[in-house]
Structure 1
Amino acid sequence: MLTKAILFDLDGTLLDRSSSLEAFLPNQYERFHSILKTTNYKQFRERFLHLDQNGYVWKDQVYQQMEGEFKLPLNSWIPLISDYVKGFAQDCVAFPDTHRLLQSLTKQEYKLGLITNGVGDFQRQNIKHLQLDNFFDTVHISEIEGMKKPDPRLFQRALQNLGVTAEESIFVGDHEEKDIKGAQSIGMKTVRIDHSNTILESLADEVVYSCNQLQQLFVR
């Protein structure tokens, strides 16, 4: 069946979270050096990345844990989380060729959707800063929708908004459980993107390793 719509995950698929954090964390450490002086930047960075668990632990928990471990002033986590919410978007970056990929798909008249887990305002800021908002016909953020991937209802809602069926659609993501299995549960075809080139196996219909490879996959 002809593919009419392509839907994407955000973090780890279009947004390069690792590079974004490597830009954000030194800036935050510099801004808050007066309260972070009990630790050096290397310790701060390493502990943040460990506690963050690739973004699957929300930052209030991360900063509260770091406050205790580094013996920071009481309630230091509050300005740190506020700075993260407001400042991360300024340092976030997309993977190479992301815009070229989306421009190509738009020119080929695919309908495009975005489904991402996360906090509404935070993810909206990231999408806007990356200048991705104008590419998508529908955007679904888990906090706003009241459900998160891999809940099949979230994928179904996006397809309904696009006016397409699961059989006419493909989902692209980096996470096996939340993206690939979630989309497959309603009958969508899937592509897993592995920017780190570390995947050994996947249930996805296709595996690609860059946005450039992904673009070639969807040439009509």
Structure 2
Amino acid sequence: MLVTGATGTLGRDLVATLRERGHEVRGLSRSAPGHVHGDLLTGAGIAEAVDGVDVIIHAATDGRRDEAATDNLLKVVRDDQHLIYVSIVGVDRVPLPYYRSKYRIEQRVRERGGSILRATQFHNLVRGMARALTAAPIGLYPAFDIQPVDTRDVARRLAEIAEGGRVELEDFGGPAVRSARELFQLYLTSAGRRRPLLPVRLPGKIFGGYRSGGHLAPDRALGTITFEDFLAAR
């Protein structure tokens, strides 16, 4: 199996999970030791990295350049190889430019017969948001709910898809939908800090998409590792 984005937040857990399950894994990186080297943006080394693998899990992400990177990957993926793309719950409902790009990539992958797993926001992302928005003496939090999921849970599900065959499109959510205020307060408690927290509400369709829960998958709450578990372990 080949994992793109092998040194990223999800990629590290994914490579470890696949190897623990007995699979031979290549991690793709531009320069990190211990991985095959290739550059999705230029295409250099990608054909060699893909050659001979049965499953390709595309977990790499680089913001605005994701579409170009994925196009370079698709040029060398064969029809008999199983391509699995890691996307985000809500890319078809929340009009964030980054989400729109991910949604266009999904269409390309589906046209090639690949599998798509959409995940809710990672615990790491929520912790990073909480750290940034509570750095001042008065903390802020976005006035919407979040369904954080652990990358270890997502890695496990990706491994299951890799082992079990193609799925057209699947949502994978964290164990519970919770308010951002509750999650930010949990972060502050774990960090031994106290802050008053004030809600942030912004106008526009993007924030409205989050407020309406377009990024949530309450009926697909399949993750088992809670935000408290994550904070305690990391």
TM-score category of the 2 structures, normalised to the smaller one:
0.3 to 0.5
Structure (1 or 2) with the greater strand fraction: 2
Structure (1 or 2) with the greater helix fraction: 1
Q: TM-score, normalised by structure 2?
A: 0.35
